[in-house]
Amino acid sequence: DGGITQSPKYLFRKEGQNVTLSCEQNLNHDAMYWYRQDPGQGLRLIYYSQIVNDFQKGDIAEGYSVSREKKESFPLTVTSAQKNPTAFYLCASTGGFARSPLHFGNGTRLTVT
């Protein structure tokens, strides 16, 4: 939707397992972002990438990992080290590095039990 596809929409995992969330965009955007959303806490930045093969930690990177091997793809792995992984995860992209709006995917709701 809007050129950014996140899959799956719902994901269920057992505690202790790593899980990878997919994010693909066909907007030819250079920069991509992962946000986590919890009730009452807004959106918090996990990781971002401004160019292929490069990425930076956001405010809450612990327990997560990313890769950016292709411009179109920015998968997020939630590792077993993430203490509270249950959340709504949003991927976004932008065509400009500064003063440009983010375009969001539809999100993946991850539930870990």
Partner 1 sequence: GENVEQHPSTLSVQEGDSAVIKCTYSDSASNYFPWYKQELGKRPQLIIDIRSNVGEKKDQRIAVTLNKTAKHFSLHITETQPEDSAVYFCAASPGNTGKLIFGQGTTLQVKP
Question: Which residues of the shown chain bind partner 1 in the complex (CB under 8 A)?
Answer: 1-2, 31, 33, 35, 40-45, 48, 50, 56, 58-59, 90, 94, 96-102, 104-107
Minimum CB distance to partner 1, residue 20 (Å): 20
Beta pairing partners, 54:
51
Between 17 and 100, whose beta carbon lies closer to partner 1?
Answer: 100
Between 30 and 80, whose beta carbon lies closer to partner 1?
Answer: 30
Closest CA to 63 of 105, 110, 19: 19
Q: Give me the sign of the Cα torsion angle 33, 9, 4, 78.
A: positive
Tokens encoding 33: 């972002």
Between 17 and 59, whose beta carbon lies closer to partner 1?
Answer: 59
Between 71 and 80, whose beta carbon lies closer to partner 1?
Answer: 71
Instruction: Tell me how far apart the alpha carbons of residues 54 and 102 are, in angstroms, rounded to a whole number.
Output: 19
Minimum CB distance to partner 1, residue 97 (Å): 4
Q: Left, alpha or beta for 100 (phi > 0: left; psi -120 to 50: alpha)?
A: beta
Minimum CB distance to partner 1, residue 18 (Å): 25
Minimum CB distance to partner 1, residue 16 (Å): 28
Is the distance from CB of 88 to CB of 34 less than 8 angstroms?
A: no
